């Protein structure tokens, strides 16, 4: 990933938090006058958002109104569209969505352009050139396995079809709306000889998984994993690793990077709603997330922040934090689909899940 030269921000009308000790910038003051930030789809156990939100609240004294923490990327966008003329608490200020949903923000005029003060340290291929969306963090897909409920841990995608996994395999979202679930189907397609442009083998894989009785049509969450209802879940590494810490061995969690295909890396992007009731609070939120502190808080939740290489280069990643991360080899094999590839996969999967697999995941 290439770094771009520093962009000229003068004249853009963007207010920045002050770096002067003991003073507040115009942006901080304006955000405090608004008094609130409305987020959506930020579960506290996803990317360490619980600590991130609390730190932001403590730092700036703003109330954070958290809408539907378990919303999908599609539901986030629908919330913006449904509240265009609503300045009340149901209108999101900021979005955290899958990369494949970013084009919709542009096509439908749903995002407000903003370039954070650390803009020049963000790879240019992972941000919109005008700041309508910015890559936030990424992870890789694999199997989260609650080993207490599984005799033998699956190591390959093809293993999931084995009889011993009957009623044990689940997705972490609805593949008609959830970016994580859509990319899971795409990852299965790669293992089955398909591609992002042709994810039909992934859909056929889940059709077979359902026909043999192994697929559980339940959106997996911490509670369903801990109870054994969904002991094998296809999901992002950072969610599985967070569960490993949270469960503390009860049940024991293992994260598996499948051996029969390169792991698919997934980027999530940040954006400010074009209709944000609290635009200055939204900009301040972005500044916080893309500061060194915000990036390290994401990393603490096992999400690789977009400025990770810059942090490493400057030696600001704490050694104890780096030691808890998965082996670098898994990330070296990872495939980062382009925006066009994600769009292609998303279109085919969302339009054909019902026809091919025929299972309502909820």
Residue 1: both structure tokens together: 């990933």
Mean pLDDT is highest, among 43-47, 286-290, 318-322, 330-334, for 286-290
CA distance linking residue 21 with residue 51, whole number of Å: 24
CA dihedral 189, 191, 196, 199 (to 10 degrees): -10
Which two structure tokens, joined as six digits, stand for 203? 């859909």
Higher pLDDT, 281 or 327: 281
Predicted local distance difference test score (pLDDT) of residue 24: 76
CA–CA dist 260, 291 (Å, integer): 37
333 upstream amide cis, omega within 30 of 0: no
**How far, in Å, CA of 156 to CA of 314, rounded?**
37
Cα–Cα distance measured from residue 233 to residue 160, given in angstroms and rounded to the nearest whole number: 11
pLDDT at 235 over 90: yes
SS3 string, 165-233, reads HCCCEEECCCCCCCHHHHHHHHHHHHHCCCCCCCCHHHHHHHHHHHHCCCECCCCCCHHHHHHCCCCEE
Angle between helices 49-60 and 26-34 (to 10 degrees): 100
CA 353 to CA 178: how far, in whole Å? 12
User: Exposure of 328 by Cβ count < 10 A (0-12 exposed, 13-18 middle, 19+ buried)?
Assistant: exposed
- Rg (alpha carbons) of the chain, rounded to whole number: 20
- From the number of C-beta atoms within 10 Å of its C-beta (0-12, 13-18, 19+), residue 312 rates as exposed
pLDDT of residue 18: 41
Provide the pLDDT confidence category of residue 1 given band limits of 50, 70 and 90.
very low
Tokens representing residue 205 in the block: 């894989």
Tell me the per-residue pLDDT of 68-104, one tens digit each, with 9 for 90 and over: 999 999 999 999 999 999 999 999 999 999 998 999 9
pLDDT band at 125 (very low <50, low <70, confident <90, very high): confident
In the predicted model, what is the mean pLDDT of residues 158-176?
A: 97
CB 281 within 8 A of CB 93: yes
Split at pLDDT 50, 70, 90, the class of 174 is very high
Judging by beta carbons within 10 Å of its beta carbon (0-12, 13-18, 19+), is residue 115 exposed, middle or buried?
buried
Q: Residue 161's Cα: distance from chain center in Å?
A: 27
Asked whether 200 and 152 are in contact (CB, 8 A), the reply is no
Which pLDDT score is estimated for 4?
A: 29
pLDDT of residue 339: 87
Evaluate if residue 10 carries a pLDDT over 60.
no
Judge whether 26-138+266-323 and 139-265+329-356 match in fold: yes
Mean pLDDT of 180-196: 96
Which helix (H) or strand (E) segment holds residue 353: the answer is: helix 339-356
Structure tokens at 10: 């003068």
Question: In this predicted structure, what is the pLDDT of residue 176?
Answer: 95
Domain boundaries, the chain: 26-138+266-323, 139-265+329-356
- The share of the chain scoring above pLDDT 70, in percent, equals 94
- Per-residue confidence band for 336, with pLDDT thresholds at 50, 70 and 90: confident
Q: Three-state SS for 117? A: coil
Task: Say how far apart CA 56 and CA 191 lie, in whole Å.
Answer: 41
Q: pTM (2 decimals)?
A: 0.80
The mean pLDDT of 19-29, rounded to a whole number, is 69
Q: Which CATH superfamily includes the segment(s) 26-138+266-323?
A: Periplasmic binding protein-like II (3.40.190.10)
Q: List the one residue out of 74, 108, 67, 106 whose CA is nearest residue 88.
A: 67
Distance of alpha carbon 23 from alpha carbon 18, whole angstroms: 7
**17 band by pLDDT with thresholds 50, 70 and 90:** low
Q: Which CATH topology does 139-265+329-356 take?
A: D-Maltodextrin-Binding Protein; domain 2 (3.40.190)
Which residues is 145 bridged to in the sheet? 232, 254
Name the nearest CA neighbour of 277 among 43, 131, 63, 115.
63
Taking residues 191-197, report their average pLDDT: 96
- Is the pLDDT at 136 greater than 50? The verdict is yes
* Dihedral over Cα of 218, 227, 70, 45: its sign: negative
Q: Tell me whether strands 265-273 and 94-98 are parallel, antiparallel or unpaired.
A: antiparallel
Q: Does residue 282 surpass a pLDDT of 80?
A: yes
Burial (0-12, 13-18, 19+ Cβ within 10 Å), 250: exposed
Which residues, in sequence order, are bridge partners of residue 215? 169
| Residue of higher predicted confidence among 327 and 296 | 296
Residue range 41-68, pLDDT digits in tens:
999 989 999 999 999 999 999 999 999 9
Is the pLDDT assigned to residue 25 strictly greater than 70? yes
For the beta carbon of residue 194, count every other beta carbon within 10 angstroms.
21
Write down the residue that tokens 């003991």 correspond to: 22
What's the whole-number mean pLDDT along residues 199-220?
A: 98
- Contact partners, residue 1, CB within 8 Å, separation at least 6: 123, 125, 126, 309
Mean pLDDT of the chain: 91
């Amino acid at each position: 990933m290439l770094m771009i030269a520093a962009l000229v921000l003068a004249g853009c009308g963007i207010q920045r938090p002050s770096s002067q000790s003991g003073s507040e910038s115009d942006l901080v003051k304006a955000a405090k006058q608004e008094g609130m930030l409305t987020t959506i789809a930020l579960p506290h156990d996803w990317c360490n958002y619980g600590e991130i939100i609390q730190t932001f609240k403590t730092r700036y004294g703003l109330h954070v109104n958290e809408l539907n923490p378990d919303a999908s990327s599609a539901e986030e966008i629908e919330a913006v569209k449904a509240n265009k003329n609503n300045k009340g608490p149901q209108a999101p200020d900021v979005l955290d969505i899958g990369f494949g949903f970013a084009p919709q923000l542009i096509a439908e005029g749903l995002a407000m352009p903003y370039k954070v003060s650390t803009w020049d340290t963000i790879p240019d291929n992972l941000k919109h050139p005008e700041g309508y969306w910015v890559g936030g963090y990424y992870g890789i897909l694999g199997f989260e396995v609650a080993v207490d409920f599984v005799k033998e841990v699956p190591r390959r995608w093809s293993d999931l079809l084995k009889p011993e996994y009957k009623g044990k395999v689940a997705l972490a979202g609805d593949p008609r709306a959830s970016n994580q679930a859509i990319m899971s189907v795409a990852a299965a397609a790669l293992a089955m000889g398909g591609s992002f442009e042709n994810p039909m083998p992934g859909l056929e894989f889940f059709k077979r998984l359902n026909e043999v009785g192994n697929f559980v049509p339940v959106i997996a969450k911490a509670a369903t994993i801990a109870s054994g209802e969904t002991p094998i879940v296809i999901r992002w590494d950072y969610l599985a690793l967070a569960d490993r810490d949270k469960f503390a061995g009860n049940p024991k969690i293992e994260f598996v990077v499948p051996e029969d295909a390169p792991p698919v890396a997934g980027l999530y992007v940040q954006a400010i709603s074009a209709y944000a009731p609290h635009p200055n609070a939204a900009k301040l939120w972005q500044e916080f997330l893309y500061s060194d502190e915000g990036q390290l808080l994401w990393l603490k939740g096992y999400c690789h922040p977009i400025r990770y290489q810059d942090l490493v280069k400057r030696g600001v990643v704490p050694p104890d934090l780096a030691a808890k991360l998965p082996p670098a080899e898994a990330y070296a094999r990872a495939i980062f689909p382009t925006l066009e590839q994600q769009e292609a996969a998303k279109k085919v999967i969302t339009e054909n899940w019902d026809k091919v697999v025929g299972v309502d995941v909820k």
